[in-house]
Amino acid sequence: MGHFIIRRLVSSILALLLIITFTFILVHMVPGGPFASEKQLPDSVMRNLEEKFHLNDPLWLQYVKYLGQVVKGDLGPSYKYENRTVNEFIRHGFPVSATLGALAVAIALVVGITLGIIAALRQNRWQDYLAMVIATIGFSAPSFIVASLLMFLFAYKIKIFPTAMWGTPAHAVLPSLALATLPTAFISRLIRANMIEVLQQDYIKTARSKGLSERVIIYKHALKNAILPVVTYLGPLIASIFTGSFVIEKIFAIPGIGRDFVIAITNRDYGLILGLTIFYAVFLMAMNLIVDLSYSLIDPRIKLTRGEG
Amino acid sequence: MELTRELLQPLDKSGTEAEAVGKPRTTYWQDVRRNFRQNKLAMFGLVVIIVLLAMAITGPYLSGHTYDEQNYQMANKPPSSEYWFGTDALGRDLFTRVWYGARISLAVGVLTACMVFLIGVLYGGISGYFGGKVDEVMMRVVEILSSIPFLLWVILLMVVMEPGLKTIFIALGAVYWLNMARLVRGQVLSLKEQEYVLAARVLGASPFRILIRHIIPNTMGPIIVAMTLMIPEAIFTEAWLSFLGLGVSAPMASWGSLASDGVGAISAYPWQLFFPAIFICLTMLAFNFVGDGLRDALDPRARR
Amino acid sequence: MKRNVTFTILGLLITFALILTGCAQDKGKKEETSKVIKYVLGADPETLDPAAMTGAPEGTIANAAFEGLTRYDKDGKITQGIAQKWEISPDGKTYTFYLRDAKWSDGSPVTAGDFKYAWLRALAPETASQYAYQLFYIKGAEEYNSGKGKAEDVGITVVDDKTLKVELSQPAPQFLGLTAFQTLYPLNKKAVEANPQFKVEGDKKIVGNGPFVIESYTPKQKLVFKKNPNYWDAASVKLDGLEFYLIDDDKTALTMVENGEADLVVGNVPVEDIPRLKQQGKLKVYPNLATYFYRFNVTKKPFDDPRVRKALAMAIDRKAIVETITQAEQKPAFAFTPYGIVDADGKDFRENGGNDYFKEDVEEAKKLLAEAGYPDGKGFPKVSILYNTSENHKKIAEAIQQMWKKNLGIEVNLVNQEWQVYLTMMEKLQYDVLRSGWIADYADPMTFMDMFVTGGGNNLTGWSNKEYDELIKKANSSGDQAVRMQAMHEAEKILMDEMPIMPIYFYTEPTVISDRVQDVIIPSFGVYAEFKWASVK
C-alpha cells in the first residue's frame, strides 16, 4: 500500500506539471488579455500595466517564474482584482463552496441511495417507476432551472427562505437543494442498476437460502457491493461540487470559488485562472486517490498494485 | 443377472425427444431482441423516441409558421389555436421552434452519448483490466484532461473553428468521456477478479476477448445509466455552448437554448420554459426506459 | 473489520457542513431598523483604490466614500465639492481651485497637497492606473505616465494648503467635470502608505473624505458604510449608513428588492419582468448618457459605400426594437450623441441638433441600395453581424436580420463571440457589422465625437474623414463653448451623412426603488446612484 501511494504521488506531481503547462499555454493562446476593455487604453497605460505584471517578459520566463512561485505555495496575484492574491480568493471562497458542496453531497447520498434501494427492491412495480420518474426529472432539469424554480417558489411566492446571499443556515437550504438534484438522480439510478445486478448474484441467493433476514442481505451484502460505482462517482463529484458551481453561486449570490473560476476566464485573469486550476487539480487527484484506496476497503479482492500477470 | 442382447438395445429415439425442454436454440442476440420486446416499458420508450423523431422531421411544417418569422404584435402570447405552444419574445411560433430544436438536441444528445460510450468504455476497460502502470498513466491523463478548464478550451475552439454542430461534438467529445472512463475502470477493477474471468484467463482467452465478451457486458448496468444521463447534460451543454457562440447560430434554436431563454420568463411567460422542458424530460424518460430494457436484455445472467 | 464507507463519509460531510455554517452564523446580525439603505450594486468591485478603479460599480463606491474638487448636485450639475470656488483663465488652460476646510475621516485636514499626491500617484508609471489617461489633459501628464517626463514637470502646483493650480495642455471645458471623477479624488498619503492595497479587514481601514466611510467589506457579499461625521457637509447626510450588496444576477437582485431584502436596483432589470413592473408602478426609468449602435467595417466591401451603410440604417424599425425587445423606454436614435448634455446656449445638445439626421424609409433605402449596385439585395455579399454573447444583443440582432431580409432582400448571418474574443475581433477589424455601445466618460459631446477621428483608438471602423478631423481639432483647441459646440454639431452631421456607424437607440436606466427610500439620485453616467442626500421614511 505504501509503495502504491508513493508511486501515485510521483505520477500526480508529473501530471500537475503537465496541467500547469497546458493551462499556461492555453490562457496565453486565447485572444484578449486581463486589461482588454471596450474603451481602448492609450499605449503608455497599457505598457505600464504590462510592466507591473511582468507580462512583457518572454513567455518562457513568465512560466519559469510562475513555477518557482507555485513551488513555494504562492499562487501569485490576481490580475483583475489588483489588490487580492489567488491564495486569498481560495481562503475566502473555498470554505463556502465546500460547505455547500458537503451539504449537497450528503443530501444526494441519503436521498439517492434510499430511492435506489426502494426502486431495486420493488423492481418494475409502481414504487420503482415513481422513484425513477423522480430521478429522471431530477437530471433532466439542469441546476439553473432548478435554482430559479426554487427561488421563485420558496423565496418569492412563499417567503420561507432568504432569496440569496450567504450567512445563516437558512441561506444554505435552497442552493444546496439545487446543487444536490443532479447527483441525487445519478446516485439513485446507479444504485438501482447495480442493486438489481447484485441481487441476482449467487452469494445473495446463498444468503437467502441460509435464511438471513432481508435487512441483513440488503445492507450487509448487497448494498456493499452495489455501492462501488457510486464511490467511483463520488471522487470527481466531490472534486467538482466542493470547488463550487458557477450557476448556483451566481443565482444565489454565494461568495464561493465556482463563480470566481468562470469570471477569471472571461476576464483573462491569468493568475487567477492558473491558481484555481492548480487548486482544483490537486483536489481532484486527492479525491481520486481516496476513491481508489476505498475500493480495496469495500471489495478486498480489488488490488491496485498488481499489474496484469 | 444375465445380460441379454435385448437389454443393450439403443433407446427409442422418441424418448429423448420427449425429454427435451422445449426451447429452440437461440443465439445471444436473438435472446436480447426477444427479451427487449417483452419489456413493455422499454417498448413504450422506443415508441416515444420514434414519435419524437417523426415530429422532429415533420413538426416544423405543421403549424404554417417558420422558425424565424417574427411578429412583434404577437410577442409573448400564450398557447392558442393560432400558436399551439405560444410565442416567444419576438413573436415567433414556439411550436415550430421546438420541433426545429428537437433536430439539434436529439442529434447532440444521442451522438454524444454514443461517442462517450465508445471512447469511455474502451479507455476505461483497458485501463482497469491491465491495471498497474498502464492504469496509472491512463488515469493521470484523465485527470489532466479534466483539470484543464473547459471554458478555456471552448473559447479556443471558438476562435479556430467555424461555429456549428461539428464544433459542438469536438468540444463535448473532448471532455465528456472522462467520467465514463473512470466509472468503467472502477467496475472493471472489481470484475476482473471474479471467478469467471479467472476461468476465461486459464482457458487462454485473449485479454481483449475477456474484456469485450466477459467483463464489459457485466458492467452494462452503470454504463447505460451513465449514458442515458449524458443525454440531458449534452443537450444543456450544447445550449450553453450555442449561447457562447460555438454551436448553431441564432435565430436557430435547440431545446436547451429555448429552455435557457425560458428560465428568465418563469413567472411572466411560463410556457416558454414549459414546452422545451417537457420534451427534454420526455426524451430522458424514454431513453431511460430503453436503456433499462437494453440493460436487462443484454444481461448474460438473465439469459433464459 | 467491516465498516460502511458511505456512512462514514456522510457523517463527516454533515459535521463539516454544520461546523462551517455555524462559523458563518454569527455574522448574520439582526435586521436593523436604523436609517440604512440596502442597494444591490452588482459585481464585486475590482479594487477599492480610486486610482485603479475603472467601472461604474467602483465609481459608485468611491463616490460614497470620497469627494473630489467638485461634485454633481441633485440636478446633475457640477457644483462645489472640496473646492468652494475656482477660477479659469481666459485662455481656458489654467484652473485655480480654492479649497474649503474639509477633513478626512480620521480627522486630519484635506489639503491641496492631497490632490497633488493622488493625481501624481495615478499618473506614476509604477501605479499602472488604467484610467490615468483621464488626467492627460494636464500639461506634462502624458509624458510622465509614458516615462518620457518627470513628475515635477506635471502642471499641478500646490500654491498653499488651500489653493491648487492646474495647467492644461489645451483648453478642455470637460476637465471641471472630471474633477468629480474617481481618478481625480484626493488621497491621504499617510493612510495610503499604511494600507497601500486599500484593504478593509482587521484594523485596516480606508480613510476617505466623502459623506460615508467604509465600515466593512466581505468580498462578493457586501460593503457596509457608515455616515462619516467628519464630512464637511455632514449636516446634509440624513442616512446612518449604507449597505451595498454585491449580487451580479439580475433576476436575483430584482427578487431581493421585491421581497424587501434590498431597497433598490439600478439598471439591469430583467426584460421579462419589465411589463409587470410597469403595470405595478414599481419601475422608474432614468436617462442614461449612452448610445447603442452598430459599427460598419468600412474597409470591406460592400460597406465601403456610404449608400449601402445608409440604406441599411434606414431599413430597420427602431421603434419596434425598443418597444418589443428592450422595453425600458429607450429612445430610437437618429443621431449619435444622446440626450442630456448641455449645449453652449444652456439647452440640450441633442434637441438643438435634432434627432433626425436620417429617416427610416424603406423605399429610399431600396433606391440607395440599387444605386450602390444591389437592386433588391441581389448580389449583396454574404455578411454577418457580430455581437458579444448576451440575450438582448441576440434578440436585437435577430430582429435586424429579419428587417433587412424583409425590407431589402439582404441575407446576413448572426455570429456571437465571447466578450474578449469579440473585443479582439473589433480591434483587428475582423467583422462586417458589429454591435457596439458607448457610455459617456463626462458630460460633453466630445466623449462621443472624438471617437471617430482618423486612427482614434475607439474608431475601430476604419472610417476617416478630413473635414471631421478638422472640426474635432477645432473644438478641442478652443475654450469658447459656442465655437466648440458648433464644431461638434457640424461633425455629428458629417458622421451621420457618412454613417460608418448606425445608431439604434439611446440607453435608459430602468430602476426599481422601494417606497421607503427618498432622494436617491440616479445620475446619467459615471455613478449608478448617489446617496448623499438620500433618506428613508
Q: Is A35 in the C-facing interface, judged by CB distances under 8 Å?
A: yes
Q: Round to whole Å and give the CA distance between C423 and A35.
A: 11
**How far lies C476's CA from each of A40, C141, C184, C345, in Å?**
20, 17, 21, 18
Residue of C250, C254, C272 to mutate for B, most B C-beta atoms under 10 A: C272
Nearest by CB to C324, from B69, B75, B261: name it: B75
Residues B236 and B248: their CA atoms lie apart, in Å, by: 13
Quote the pLDDT of residue B25: 64
Give CA–CA dist C427/C456, Å, rounded. 11
b/e sequence C170-190, b meaning 16+ C-beta within 10 Å = ebbbbbbbbbbbbbbbbbbee
Which of the two residues, C258 and B285, has the higher pLDDT score? Answer: C258
The confidence score (pLDDT) of residue C25 equals 43
Residue type, B249: S
B139-189 pLDDT per residue, tens: 889 988 888 888 888 888 888 887 778 888 888 888 888 888 988 888 888
Please report the pLDDT score of residue A20 as a whole number: 94
Sort out which chain A residues have CB atoms less than 8 A from C125's CB and list them. 44, 47-48, 51
**Angle between helical axes of A86-121 and A169-199 (0-180°, round to 10):** 40
Chain B residue numbers touching A183 (CB-CB < 8 A) = none
Residue C242's nearest CA partner among C229, C224, C265 is: C224
Q: Does A258 touch chain C (CB under 8 A)?
A: no
Closest residue of A to C246, CA-based? A253
Q: Which residue has the higher pLDDT, A298 or A210?
A: A210
Task: Quote the pTM value.
Answer: 0.87
For position C187, what pLDDT does the model report?
96
Instruction: Give the residue with greater pLDDT, B15 vs C89.
Output: C89
Distances (CA, A) of B182 to A89, A234, B222, B229: 30, 11, 12, 15
- Residues 6+ positions from C11 with CB-CB distance below 8 Å: none
Mean pLDDT of C245-253: 92
B125 and B217 Cβ atoms separated by less than 8 Å: no
Closest residue in A to B141 (Cα–Cα): A15
Query: What pLDDT is recorded for position C473?
Result: 93
Residue-wise pLDDT tens digits, C444-501: 999 999 999 998 889 999 999 999 999 999 998 888 889 999 999 999 999 999 999 9
> According to the per-residue pLDDT averaged within each range, which of A122-136, A285-299, B278-292, C134-148 is highest?
C134-148
Nearest to A36 among C28, C126, C420 (CB): C420
Place of cell 449636516: C235
Q: How far apart are CA C183 and CA C68, in angstroms?
A: 9
Whose cell is 478593509? That residue is C200
Statement: residue C504 has pLDDT above 90 = yes
Identify the pLDDT of residue C2: 39
* pLDDT digits 0-9 by tens, C325-364: 999 999 999 999 999 999 999 899 999 999 999 999 999 9
Residue with the bigger pLDDT between C10 and A188: it is A188
Beta strands in C191-327 (DSSP E): 212-218, 222-227, 241-245, 264-266, 283-296
Residues of chain C in contact with residue B265, where contact means CB-CB under 8 angstroms, are 272
Q: Which helix (H) or strand (E) holds A287?
A: helix A270-298
Tell me which H or E stretch contains C509. strand C501-513
- CB nearest to C46's CB, from A80, A95, A96: A80
Q: Give chain A's end-to-end CA distance (angstroms, integer).
A: 19
Instruction: Please give the distance of CA B300 from its chain centroid, rounded to a whole number.
Output: 21
The average pLDDT across C261-273 equals: 91
Half-sphere exposure of A160 (CA within 13 A, CB side): 6
- The answer to whether the CB of C407 falls within 8 A of the CB of C365 is yes
Segment C281-316, tens digit of pLDDT? 999 999 999 999 999 999 998 999 999 999 999 999
Say if residues C326 and C339 touch (Cβ distance below 8 Å). no
Of residues B3 and C464, more confidence is placed in C464
CA atoms within 13 A on the CB side of C269: 28
Give the span between the Cα atoms of A234 and A184, in whole angstroms: 11
Q: Grid coordinates in use for A279?
A: 487548486
Q: Min CA distance, C376 vs chain A (Å)?
A: 35
> By CB neighbour count within 10 A (0-12 exposed, 13-18 middle, 19+ buried), where does B30 fall?
exposed
Taking CA–CA distances from B42, the nearest residue in chain A reads A124
A139/B229 CB distance under 8 A:
yes
Mean pLDDT of chain A: 87
Digit-coded pLDDT (tens) for C178-194: 999 999 999 999 999 99
Q: Report whether C133 contacts C202 (CB < 8 A).
A: no
Q: Do C195 and C205 contact (CB within 8 A), yes or no?
A: yes
Mean pLDDT of the B254-264 span? 83
Q: What is the structure's pLDDT at C30?
A: 45
Across the interface, which of A30, A37, A44 has its CB nearest the CB of C146? A44
Distance from CA of B107 to the nearest CA of C (A): 22
CA end-to-end distance (rounded Å), chain C:
68
Residue C18 has pLDDT above 80, yes or no: no
Query: What's the CA gap between B291 and B114, in Å, rounded?
Result: 12
User: Could B147 and A303 be called an inter-chain contact, meaning their C-beta atoms sit closer than 8 Å?
Assistant: no
What does each C-alpha distance from C134 to A80, A302, B142, C181 come to in angstroms? 20, 67, 49, 9
What residues of chain A, 118 to 137, have a C-beta less than 8 Å from chain C? none
Q: Which chains touch A (3 or more CB pairs under 8 A)?
A: B, C
If you average pLDDT over residues B279-302, what whole number do you get? 78
Chain A residues with CB inside 8 Å of C21's CB? Answer: 99, 168-169, 172
Q: pLDDT of A58-112, one tens digit each?
A: 999 999 999 999 999 899 999 988 889 999 999 999 999 999 999 999 999 999 9
Cβ of A197 under 8 Å from any chain C Cβ?
no
A-facing residues of C in 447-486 (CB < 8 A) are: 457-458, 460
> CB C421 to CB B159 under 8 A?
yes
Res. C235: pLDDT tops 90: yes
Distance CA C63, CA C179 (A): 12
Q: Which residues from chain B sit within 8 angstroms of residue A139, using beta carbons? A: 229, 232-233, 284
Residue C165 clears pLDDT 90, i.e. is over it: yes
In eight-state DSSP terms, residue C338 is: P
Distance separating alpha carbons of residues C141 and C152, to the nearest angstrom: 10
Q: Are C524 and C350 in contact (CB under 8 A)?
A: no
Q: Which of A32-46, B27-41, C192-206 has the lowest mean pLDDT?
A: B27-41
- CA-based end-to-end distance of chain B: 44
* DSSP summary character for residue A42: P
Determine contact, residues B98/A277, Cβ cutoff 8 Å: no
Q: How far apart (Å, rounded) are the C-alpha atoms in residues B173 and B190?
A: 27
Query: Taken in order A164, A168, A174, A179, is the CA torsion positive or negative?
Result: positive
DSSP state of C152: G
Question: Is residue C369 packed enough to be buried (19+ CB in 10 Å), middle (13-18) or exposed (0-12)?
Answer: buried
Q: What is the pLDDT of residue C16?
A: 60
pLDDT higher than 80, residue C535: yes
| Whether C423 and A37 lie within 8 Å, measured CB to CB | yes
Q: What average pLDDT does the segment A234-254 reach?
A: 88
| pLDDT of C15 higher than 60 | yes
The verdict on whether omega for the bond into residue C302 sits within 30 degrees of 0, i.e. cis, is: yes
Whether A32 sits inside 8 A of C421 (CB atoms) is: yes
CA B44 to chain centre: 16
A233/B285 touch (CB, cutoff 8 Å), yes or no: no
Task: Give the pLDDT band (50/70/90) at residue B206.
Answer: confident
- Residue B12: pLDDT band (50, 70, 90) is low
Provide CB contacts within 8 A for A68, sequence distance 6+.
none
CB atoms within 10 A of CB B251: 22
Contact A136 B301 (CB under 8 A): no
C517-518 vs C535-536, strand pairing mode:
antiparallel
Is C79 touching A (CB cutoff 8 A)? no
pLDDT given at position B252: 81
Q: Rounded to an integer, what distance in angstroms lies between the CA atom of residue A79 and that of residue A87? A: 13
Amino acid, res. C31: E
- The Cα–Cα gap between A176 and A134 comes to 18
What CA–CA distances, in Å, run from C389 to A115, C163, C396? 40, 49, 12
**Mean pLDDT to the nearest integer, C161-176:** 93
Q: What is the 3-state secondary structure (H, E, C) of chain B?
A: CCCCHHHHCCCCHHHHHHHCCCCCCCCHHHHHHHHHHHCHHHHHHHHHHHHHHHHHHHHHHCCCCCCCCCCHHHCCCCCCCCCCCCECCCCCEHHHHHHHHHHHHHHHHHHHHHHHHHHHHHHHHHHHHHEHHHHHHHHHHHHHHHHCCHHHHHHHHHHHCCCCHHHHHHHHHHHHHHHHHHHHHHHHHHHCCCHHHHHHHHCCCCHHHHHHHHHHHHHHHHHHHHHHHHHHHHHHHHHHHHHHCCCCCCCCCCHHHHHHHHHCCCCCCCHHHHHHHHHHHHHHHHHHHHHHHHHHHHCHHHCC
Q: What average pLDDT does chain C have?
A: 90
**Taking a C-beta distance cutoff of 8 angstroms, is the pair C125, C145 a contact?**
yes
For A164, which of C13, C256, C436 is closest by C-beta distance?
Answer: C256
* Cβ contacts of C126 on chain A, cutoff 8 Å: 48, 51-52
- Residues from chain B that touch A14, judged by Cβ atoms under 8 A, are 140
CB C127 within 8 A of CB C51: yes
Judged against a pLDDT cut of 90, whether residue C537 lies above it is answered with: no
Check residue B2 and give its pLDDT. Answer: 67
The nearest CA of chain B is from the CA of A265 a distance in Å of 7
The whole-angstrom distance between residue B20's C-alpha and the CA centroid of its chain comes to 41
Q: CA triplet C112, C115, C121: central angle to 5 degrees?
A: 140
- Residues in chain C within 8 Å Cβ distance of A42: 133, 136, 142, 457
Q: Compute the mean pLDDT over every residue in chain B, rounded to the nearest whole number.
A: 81
What ipTM goes with this model?
0.88
What's the gap in Å between the CA of C221 and the closest CA on chain A?
6
At residue A228, does pLDDT exceed 90?
no
DSSP string, C382-404: -EEEEEES-HHHHHHHHHHHHHH
Q: What pLDDT is attached to residue B261?
A: 82
Using a CB-CB cut-off of 8 Å, the residues of chain A touching C20 are: 95-96, 98-99, 102
CA geometry: angle C501, C458, C151, nearest 5 deg: 160
Residue C433's pLDDT band, with cuts at 50, 70 and 90, is very high
Quick one: pLDDT at residue C321? 93
The per-residue pLDDT for C405 is 92
SS (H, E, C) C30-63: CCCCCCEEEEECCCCCCCCCCCCCCCHHHHHHHH
Portion of chain A with pLDDT greater than 90, in percent? 35
Instruction: Determine which of A52, A144, A165 to mutate to test the interface with C (most C C-beta atoms within 10 Å).
Output: A165
Could you tell me if A100 and A172 are in contact, meaning their C-beta atoms sit under 8 angstroms apart? yes
Contacts of C380 (CB under 8 A, 6+ apart): C302, C369, C374, C409, C410, C411
Q: Is the pLDDT of residue A229 over 70?
A: yes
Average confidence (pLDDT) over A231-237: 81
The per-residue pLDDT for A307 is 42
pLDDT in tens, C28-79: 444 446 799 999 998 899 999 999 998 889 999 999 999 999 999 988 889 9
C275 in contact with chain A, both atoms CB, cutoff 8 A: no
What part of A 77-96 touches C (C-beta under 8 Å)? 80-84, 92-93, 95-96
- Alpha-carbon distance of A29 to A273, in angstroms, equals 13
Chain A closest-CA separation from residue C412 CA (Å): 25
**Closest approach of B278 to chain A, Cα-based (Å):** 9
SS3 A105: helix
Q: Does B13 score more than 60 pLDDT?
A: no
